[in-house]
């Protein structure tokens, strides 16, 4: 029974990683860059929810929607101002810029809201935990809501990518930017849309993450950001189902190693698994083999 | 028969390499014009410049009375100027059907009109119909070439740029591709064809230009060039 509880909590944590990993993997697939500022967008989103819901007493759903709007604007602006001018630049320049943006967001948050941790009120604090097997297994409302939110978002996103014209355009740009342009796809608009979706999901992930782990500070986004990046690589970067699978597995591995091996070593184990997977399958679990036809 | 596309004294650079030097040519409405030349002559660069994928250092490109040389690629295609790029570049993860749908990405003239063009493309290229639900990556080279052409036709182009459509295909398929190009042209689409297979290209073209290391070396009626002694030596393998 205890194992089941660890497993479910792992899936829940993994769902958050999956939501963040989607932002990494979609941006990588379409813009061919690693947006290391993604984790910090989550942190900003969490602050928005903290102030709107926790301090001002706004309806939690409205607070999350507000946070999604703020993060979308932020993500699109970051792309427009910091990354777009570097579209033709070497990828290393873009990577360094992304790291720069990441620190910029953390420092701005520190100036604005100080580095003192804030105690985040769970967005589902009104809901009761679910009790199963005569109370032997208790699942918190946060856990349930997180998993359900993740599944809904996942299904919606896969549907969007496979069944809408904008989704097809995203796939086309991700495969061959030049050929997509020849079809009349506006690449800049497609990249903006990708950042918008990724950042909106980051806002949701932030609210869910801080509801389960209620300490909010300017560095809150950094570690989950890195782990979600690991999840994206683990599942096969560029692949949406890969990000989902990678995120969930990572959450489970992390939680089970915390429970059965060592709390301190759990992060080390997570990264060790990544190394092993990459040695065995360098493209990640669901990563596509790059076929180069000459 | 007015001038549909005019390329005027264009210069294109790759970094410090001067790839296209003061090139001028034009294509009249309804024609098939071919641009022949060896590897590295600048044929693909010229095509990319027309479609807006590469910026000009100087010069101008006009299409249907509009200057397009400063336009973005996704706007140029909306004017009915489509390109079948070198190496086919189909979207291998999408199905045949989805690839064709991508070709119609810019169209806003309703499902029915698009469906008509699906039928038209499947009529012209029946192999695609059989394989419509297959990922494009699983097609053979010849089928991918046909898909690339079908995809370009799905945007209802007035003019089609074809970059090395015969590359890497068997002689039988090359013949088939050229037959299709002729058919497309008869249906009212103006064609600019870039080819290394000069023999076949000169056979179907009205006029031709010879491109050599970034400059136009010769131009004229296709039949005239096919009989030109220099062209025969350099591009047709005749003594």
CA distance B14 to chain A (A): 13
The answer to whether the CB of A30 falls within 8 A of the CB of A191 is: yes
**In Å, what is the CA distance from A168 to each residue of A6, A172, A200, B143?**
38, 6, 20, 21
Phi, psi (rounded to 5 degrees) for B119: -60, -40
Tokens 């009915």 label which residue? Answer: B80
CB contact (8 A) between residue B72 and residue A186: yes
Among chain A residues, CA nearest to B77: A184
CB contact (8 A) between residue A187 and residue B155: no
Report yes or no: A265 at the B interface, CB cutoff 8 Å. Answer: no
CB contact (8 A) between residue B105 and residue A183: yes
B118 CA to centre of own chain? 20
CA distance B205 to chain A (A): 24
The answer to whether the CB of A25 falls within 8 A of the CB of A237 is: yes
**Banded pLDDT at A293 (limits 50, 70, 90):** very low
CB contact (8 A) between residue B94 and residue A186: no
Instruction: Let me know if residue A153 belongs to a domain.
Output: yes
Q: Domain count for chain A, please give it.
A: 1
Instruction: Let me know if residue A231 belongs to a domain.
Output: no
The answer to whether the CB of A8 falls within 8 A of the CB of A132 is: no
Residues of A in contact with B151 (CB under 8 A): 183
Among chain A residues, CA nearest to B88: A179
Residues A183-205 have pLDDT tens digits of: 999 999 999 999 999 999 999 99
Tokens 């199905």 label which residue? Answer: B95
All residues at 6 or more sequence positions from B149 whose CB lies less than 8 Å from its CB, including other chains:
B84, B125, B162, B165, B177, B180, B184
Residues of A in contact with B73 (CB under 8 A): 181-182, 184
CB contact (8 A) between residue A172 and residue B137: no
Q: What is the model's pLDDT at position A294?
A: 40
CB contact (8 A) between residue B85 and residue A183: no
List the 72-101 stretch of B: residues with Cβ below 8 A of A.
72-74, 77-78, 82-83, 85, 87, 89-94, 98, 101
Please give the Cα distance from B160 to B8 (Å, whole number). Answer: 19
For B103, the closest of A171, A181, A183 (CB atoms) is: A183
Residue closest to A287 by CA, chosen among A252, A251, A245 = A245
Strand partners, A130: A139
The enclosing H or E element of B3 equals: strand B3-14
All residues at 6 or more sequence positions from A293 whose CB lies less than 8 Å from its CB, including other chains:
B87
Structure tokens, B129: 């119909």
Residues of A in contact with B102 (CB under 8 A): 168-169, 172, 180, 183, 185
CB contact (8 A) between residue A187 and residue B74: yes
Instruction: Let me know if residue A280 belongs to a domain.
Output: no
SS3 (DSSP) at B44: helix
Instruction: Let me know if residue A270 belongs to a domain.
Output: no
Sheet of strand B32-36, all strands in order from the earlier edge strand to the far edge: B81-84, B159-163, B190-195, B32-36, B207-212, B215-221
* pLDDT of residue A292 exceeding 60: no
Please give the Cα distance from B156 to B92 (Å, whole number). Answer: 22
CB contact (8 A) between residue B72 and residue A182: no
The answer to whether the CB of A281 falls within 8 A of the CB of A289 is: no
Report yes or no: A107 at the B interface, CB cutoff 8 Å. Answer: no
The answer to whether the CB of B34 falls within 8 A of the CB of B164 is: no
Q: How many CB pairs under 8 A join A and B?
A: 68
Each residue of A24-43: b (16+ CB within 10 Å) or e? bbbbbbbbebbbbbbbbbbb
Report yes or no: B155 at the A interface, CB cutoff 8 Å. Answer: yes
Q: What is the CA radius of gyration of chain A?
A: 19
**Banded pLDDT at A153 (limits 50, 70, 90):** very high
DSSP symbols for A252-272 = HHHHHHHHHT-TTTHHHHHHH
Instruction: Let me know if residue A42 belongs to a domain.
Output: yes
**In Å, what is the CA distance from A142 to each residue of A19, A125, A126, B202?**
15, 8, 10, 71
Please give the Cα distance from A55 to A135 (Å, whole number). Answer: 34
Q: What is the model's pLDDT at position A67?
A: 96
Residue closest to A39 by CA, chosen among A94, A97, A106 = A106
| CATH placement of domain B1-80+157-239 | 3.40.50.300
List the 174-193 stretch of A: residues with Cβ below 8 A of B.
175-176, 178-187
Pairing of the two strands B58-63 and A215-216: unpaired
* pLDDT of residue A46 exceeding 90: yes
CB contact (8 A) between residue A182 and residue B77: yes
Residues of A in contact with B92 (CB under 8 A): 175, 291
**In Å, what is the CA distance from B215 to each residue of B9, B37, B208?**
10, 10, 14
Q: What residues of chain B score a pLDDT lower than 70?
A: 1, 238-239
CB contact (8 A) between residue A168 and residue B106: no
Instruction: Let me know if residue A88 belongs to a domain.
Output: yes
Report yes or no: B167 at the A interface, CB cutoff 8 Å. Answer: no
Q: Where are the domains of chain B?
A: 1-80+157-239, 91-156
**Banded pLDDT at A289 (limits 50, 70, 90):** low
Instruction: Let me know if residue A64 belongs to a domain.
Output: yes
* Whole-number average pLDDT of chain A: 91
CA distance B59 to chain A (A): 22
Instruction: Let me know if residue A177 belongs to a domain.
Output: yes
Residues of B in contact with A171 (CB under 8 A): 91, 93-94
Each residue of A114-134: b (16+ CB within 10 Å) or e? eeeebebbbbbeeeeeeeeee
Structure tokens, B78: 């909306």
Among chain A residues, CA nearest to B168: A294
CA distance A104 to chain B (A): 33
| Count of other CB atoms within 10 angstroms of residue B186 | 9
Pairing of the two strands B32-36 and B190-195: parallel
Residues A241-286 have pLDDT tens digits of: 999 999 999 999 999 999 998 888 888 998 898 899 889 888 888 8
CB contact (8 A) between residue B73 and residue A181: yes
Residue closest to A75 by CA, chosen among A28, A36, A38 = A38
Report yes or no: B67 at the A interface, CB cutoff 8 Å. Answer: no
Each residue of A66-83: b (16+ CB within 10 Å) or e? bbbebbbebbbebbeebb
The enclosing H or E element of B92 equals: none
Residue closest to B117 by CA, chosen among B175, B176, B69, B189 = B189
All residues at 6 or more sequence positions from A31 whose CB lies less than 8 Å from its CB, including other chains:
A79, A83, A191, A194, A195
Residues A108-130 have pLDDT tens digits of: 999 999 989 988 888 887 777 88
Residue range(s) defining the domain that contains residue A196: 2-220
CB contact (8 A) between residue B83 and residue A183: no
The answer to whether the CB of B20 falls within 8 A of the CB of B10 is: yes
Strand partners, B26: B6
The answer to whether the CB of B110 falls within 8 A of the CB of B61 is: no
Report yes or no: B137 at the A interface, CB cutoff 8 Å. Answer: yes
* Total count of residues recorded for chain B: 239
Structure tokens, A89: 């630049």
């Amino acid at each position: 029974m205890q194992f089941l509880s660890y497993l479910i909590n792992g899936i829940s944590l993994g769902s958050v990683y999956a939501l963040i990993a989607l932002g990494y993997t979609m941006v990588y697939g379409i813009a061919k860059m690693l947006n290391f500022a993604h984790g910090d967008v989550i942190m900003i989103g969490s602050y928005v929810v903290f102030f709107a819901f926790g301090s001002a007493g706004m309806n939690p759903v409205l607070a999350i929607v507000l946070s999604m709007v703020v993060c979308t604007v932020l993500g699109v602006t970051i792309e427009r101002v910091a990354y777009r001018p570097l579209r033709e630049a070497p990828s290393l320049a873009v990577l360094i810029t992304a790291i720069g943006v990441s620190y910029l967001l953390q420092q701005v948050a520190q100036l604005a809201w100080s580095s003192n941790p804030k105690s985040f009120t769970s967005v589902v604090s009104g809901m009761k935990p679910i009790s199963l097997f005569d109370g032997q297994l208790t699942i918190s409302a946060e856990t349930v809501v997180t998993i359900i939110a993740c599944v809904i978002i996942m299904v919606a996103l896969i549907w969007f990518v496979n069944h809408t014209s904008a989704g097809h355009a995203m796939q086309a740009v991700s495969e061959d930017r030049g050929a997509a342009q020849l079809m009349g796809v506006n690449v800049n608009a497609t990249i903006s849309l990708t950042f918008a979706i990724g950042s909106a999901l980051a806002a949701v992930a932030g609210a869910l993450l801080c509801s389960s782990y209620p300490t909010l500070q300017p560095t809150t986004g950094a570690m989950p950001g890195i782990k979600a990046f690991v999840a994206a690589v683990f599942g096969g970067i560029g692949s949406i189902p890969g990000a989902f699978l990678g995120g969930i597995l990572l959450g489970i591995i992390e939680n089970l190693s915390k429970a059965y091996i060592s709390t301190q070593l759990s992060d080390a184990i997570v990264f060790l698994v990544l190394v092993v997977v990459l040695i065995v399958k360098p493209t990640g679990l669901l990563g596509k083999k790059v076929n180069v036809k000459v | 028969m007015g001038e549909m596309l005019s390329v005027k004294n264009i210069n294109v650079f790759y970094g410090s390499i001067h790839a296209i030097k003061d090139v001028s040519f034009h294509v009249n409405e309804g024609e098939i014009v071919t641009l022949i030349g060896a590897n590295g002559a600048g044929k693909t660069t010229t095509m990319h410049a027309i479609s807006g994928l590469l910026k000009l250092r100087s010069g101008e490109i006009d299409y249907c009375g509009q200057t397009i040389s400063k336009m973005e690629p996704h706007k140029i295609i909306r004017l009915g100027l489509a390109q079948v790029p070198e190496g086919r570049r189909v979207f291998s993860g999408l199905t045949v059907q989805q690839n064709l749908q991508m070709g119609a990405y810019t169209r806003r003239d309703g499902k029915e009109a698009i469906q008509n063009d699906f039928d038209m493309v499947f009529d012209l290229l029946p192999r695609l119909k059989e394989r419509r639900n297959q990922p494009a990556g699983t097609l053979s080279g010849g089928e991918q070439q046909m898909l690339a052409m079908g995809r370009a036709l799905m945007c209802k182009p007035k003019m089609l740029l074809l970059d090395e459509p015969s590359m890497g295909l068997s002689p039988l398929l090359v013949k088939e591709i050229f037959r299709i190009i002729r058919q497309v042209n008869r249906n009212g689409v103006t064609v600019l064809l870039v080819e290394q297979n000069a023999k076949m290209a000169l056979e179907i073209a009205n006029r031709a230009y010879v491109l050599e290391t970034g400059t136009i070396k010769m131009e004229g009626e296709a039949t005239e060039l096919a009989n030109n002694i220099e062209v025969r030596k350099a591009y047709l393998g005749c003594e």
